[in-house]
């Protein structure tokens, strides 16, 4: 749970029941395997992704990328730029400024990650 919280920047923290029900379902589908690990008197369950799980995950990621790509190509630049403006007109100027600064920071960070990934791919 700590790893999920860290990787999502604290924006998503699943409940214990959701997490363990999901792990159990993935194990039933043979996407995960588990084994017991003991540290003193404490019992832990260690989960590992299986070959079938890696294949399924890869397929899901490919589908998500394809869907996002289709969405991006369906919206022209002008429409994309106008959509937030329609919503922003409902904010007072200071709220609008703060929101736009947040968006700018997020886009700059995302662009930096994209540029780094492209550089790494080109270097291979």
pLDDT tens figures, 44-99:
899 999 999 999 999 999 998 888 778 777 777 666 666 666 667 777 888 888 88
The answer for residues whose C-beta is within 8 angstroms of residue 47's C-beta and 6 or more apart is 23, 27, 32, 33, 34
- Per-domain boundaries in the chain: 2-51, 53-123
How is residue 6 written in tokens?
């860290």
Class of domain 2-51: mainly alpha
In this predicted structure, what is the pLDDT of residue 83?
Answer: 64
Q: Cα separation of 124 and 105, whole Å? A: 29
How is residue 5 written in tokens?
């919280």
Q: Do 88 and 102 contact (CB within 8 A), yes or no?
A: no
Segments in 33-76 forming alpha helices (H): 51-74
The pLDDT-based confidence of 5 (bands split at 50, 70, 90) is confident
Q: Cα separation of 123 and 1, whole Å? A: 35
In this predicted structure, what is the pLDDT of residue 81?
Answer: 67
Query: What mean pLDDT, rounded, does the chain reach?
Result: 86
């Amino acid at each position: 749970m700590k790893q999920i919280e860290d990787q999502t920047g604290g924006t998503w923290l699943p409940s214990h029941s959701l997490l363990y029900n999901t792990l159990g379902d993935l194990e039933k589908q043979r996407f995960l395997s588990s084994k017991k690990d003991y540290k003193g008197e404490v019992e832990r369950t260690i989960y590992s992704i299986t070959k079938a799980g890696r294949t399924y995950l890869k397929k899901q990621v490919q589908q998500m990328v394809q869907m996002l790509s289709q969405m991006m190509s369906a919206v022209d630049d002008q429409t994309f730029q106008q959509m937030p403006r329609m919503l922003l007109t409902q904010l007072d100027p200071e709220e609008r400024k703060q929101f736009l600064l947040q968006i700018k920071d997020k886009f700059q960070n995302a662009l930096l990650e994209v540029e780094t990934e492209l550089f790494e791919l080109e270097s291979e």
